[in-house]
Structure 1
Amino acid sequence: MSITIRAASAADWPALWPIVEPVVREGETYTYPPDATSEQARDLWLAEPPGETVLAEDGGVVLGTARLGPNKPGHGDHVGTAGFMVAPAARGRGVARALALHAIDWHRELGYRGIQFNAVVETNVAAVHLWQSLGWRIVGTVPGAFRSPQHGFVGLHVMYLDLTAE
């Protein structure tokens, strides 16, 4: 598999929605409304500058997507954030890792000092493991902050990657 990552645009939404929709409908990893329409999800996922939404593809087949940008405006805009979604059929094939490495490079190139994930569902153990393997650390957990359809009330981890440390 040869993964390429490029900026996504509104014209890519028809290829992204089949990735975003099952994640949103499942309701296990994002706080998005599970009944969100394609248009609502598009407005949530496609980032406006200074952010960017990217997609990962192999041979023209879209395998995953990431939303990158500042975590907060103003005095918090030196810390970035990112979100990732991978097509169910592409999971376990390195797509999320490739997108995360791209996100690290993107944020570094733009001068961000760190990347903060505000809400990593603690039962999303594959994601937590991946983020930790790439250097993110859990800086806190908000107990019961996420209502999982499968697990009930579970915690949301706040995770941070320091981009100033080498």
Structure 2
Amino acid sequence: MEIRAFEESDWPQVWPIIEQIIRKGDTFCYDPLQTEVQAHELWVVPPPGHVVVAVEDQRVLGTSNMYANRPGPGSHIASGNFMVAAEARGRGIGQALGEYLLDWARSNRFVGVQFNAVAASNTPAVKLYERLGFATIGTVPGAFRHPTLGPVGLHVMYQNLAS
């Protein structure tokens, strides 16, 4: 598997991954009814942000975007997202994308990485982020409307890169 910079020609393989995940509405705080155009605008962040794909045999298995968490005084903290195709989960692709994001943040002199809204019910993601060195620094109770579980917490997860 190779992780490389996203090219616009990758979008026809990236969109189905994103669409499948957001339509379920059980892990990401993205509108499950958003259009492909809206998803593209949200996912494909402009420079100095960065978007990558995890590719094997010319097939996109996952994708990640990364960027400054906030502008101005908050621009020293990175953030990002990653999604893996359902049929490719459990193969270490999420781990590799997470490590890539952390390396990108370090090489761009961010002092930390913050994930703003991790659904507490998304146990695989929470465990992955913890393996990558993130800690839950707070939880907003009931802030995520899970389609079957009802209101669940949204974690703010953080990793300090300054030490």
> Is 1:151 equivalent to 2:112 in the alignment?
no
Q: Which amino acid aligns with 1:116?
A: Q
Total equivalences in the alignment? 163
Cα pair 1:140 1:158 within 8 Å, conserved: yes
How far residue 11 of structure 1 moved from its aligned partner, in angstroms, is 2.4
**TM-score normalised by L of structure 2:** 0.98
Aligned to 2:102: 104
Cα pair 1:139 1:159 within 8 Å, conserved: yes
How far residue 82 of structure 1 moved from its aligned partner, in angstroms, is 1.1
Which whole-Å CA distance do the structure 2 matches of 1:39 and 1:9 have between them? 16
How far residue 109 of structure 1 moved from its aligned partner, in angstroms, is 0.3
Aligned to 1:75: 73
How far residue 9 of structure 1 moved from its aligned partner, in angstroms, is 2.8
Q: Which amino acid aligns with 1:99?
A: L
Which whole-Å CA distance do the structure 1 matches of 2:54 and 2:25 have between them? 22
Q: Which amino acid aligns with 1:46?
A: V
> Is 1:43 equivalent to 2:45 in the alignment?
no
Matches within 5 A, 1:51-130: 51-130=49-128
Aligned mate of 1:6, from 1, 4, 7 = 4
Aligned to 1:32: 30
Identity %: 48
Cα pair 1:10 1:46 within 8 Å, conserved: no
Aligned to 1:23: 21
SS of 1:25 mapped into structure 2 = helix
**TM-score normalised by L of structure 1:** 0.96
How far residue 51 of structure 1 moved from its aligned partner, in angstroms, is 0.6
How far does the alpha carbon of each residue in 1:26-45 deviate from its partner, in whole angstroms, 9 at most, with x for none? 00111111111111111111
Aligned to 2:159: 161
Which whole-Å CA distance do the structure 2 matches of 1:11 and 1:69 have between them? 21
Superposition RMSD on alpha carbons, in Å? 0.7
Runs of 4+ in 1 over 6 A off after TM superposition: none
Worse-superposed segment, 104-113 or 6-15: 6-15
Aligned to 2:138: 140
Q: Which amino acid aligns with 1:33?
A: D
List runs of 5+ in structure 2 lacking aligned partners: none
How far does the alpha carbon of each residue in 1:22-78 deviate from its partner, in whole angstroms, 9 at most, with x for none? 001000111111111111111111011111111101111100000101000001100
